Amino acid sequence: MIPAWKVEAIQTLLAEGRMTQRAIAKQVRVWRGAVADIAHGTRPAHRGADRETAPDALWCEGPPERCPSCGGLVNMPCLACRTRAERPYRPRGVAGPCDPNERLELRLSAMHRIRYEEIRARRKAEVLGLGS
């Protein structure tokens, strides 16, 4: 998406008529096809919300900065930190509490069955607090 201020700058430069579309694209740092679309009036409307109707937190303009909490190079406010704050933390690969007495009906070969039973016993001991 091209910010509104860039679209206005392109329209102003096109109206002046002193620069080619390629030069305008280079100066404003956009794709030349975008300048052509604006010039011909065929530029599609942005699929998202308008700046006036969208929450300020979703509009990130300006150079990227280091986020003070996660250290990422992002446009502030940091969307990653905001997303993490909105969802509960759960370590990767953990589906939730495990019932140590749950019996899964699996059809495993003998070799895989032995490995499955070892892992299941270890996890059962961890859940019950008997693990090392």
* Residue 10 counted as domain residue: yes
- Is there a contact between 19 and 13 (Cβ–Cβ < 8 Å)? yes
Structure tokens at 75: 């446009």
What is each CA distance from 77 to 1, 4, 34, 87, in whole angstroms?
Answer: 18, 19, 27, 17
Identify the helix (H) or strand (E) that includes residue 66: strand 65-66
Domain extent, residue 10, equals 4-40
Please check whether residues 78 and 106 belong to one and the same domain. Answer: no
DSSP label of 105 = -
> Quick one: pLDDT at residue 129?
73
Side-chain-facing half-sphere of 116: CA atoms under 13 Å: 11
Say if 47 falls within a structural domain.
no
d(CA 41, CA 38): 5
Q: Do 80 and 108 belong together in one domain?
A: no
82 and 106 both lie in a single domain? no
Q: How far apart are CA 12 and CA 31, in angstroms?
A: 17
DSSP state of 57: G
In a domain, 29, yes or no: yes
Q: Is residue 117 part of a domain?
A: yes
**Residue in this structure with the two tokens 């694209």, named with its chain if needed:** 25
Q: Are residues 107 and 129 in the same domain?
A: yes
* pLDDT for residue 49: 43
Does some domain include residue 49? Answer: no
In a domain, 8, yes or no: yes
Confidence at residue 47, expressed as pLDDT on a 0 to 100 scale = 47
In a domain, 94, yes or no: no
Domains: count for the chain: 3
How are the residues of the chain apportioned to helix, strand and coil, as percentages rounded to the nearest 5? 45, 5, 50
Confidence (pLDDT) at 72: 84
Per the domain annotation, does 95 fall within a domain?
no
Grouped pLDDT means (10 residues each) for the chain, 132 residues? 87 93 93 92 63 51 80 81 75 58 75 87 79 53
Q: What does the pLDDT read at residue 13? A: 94
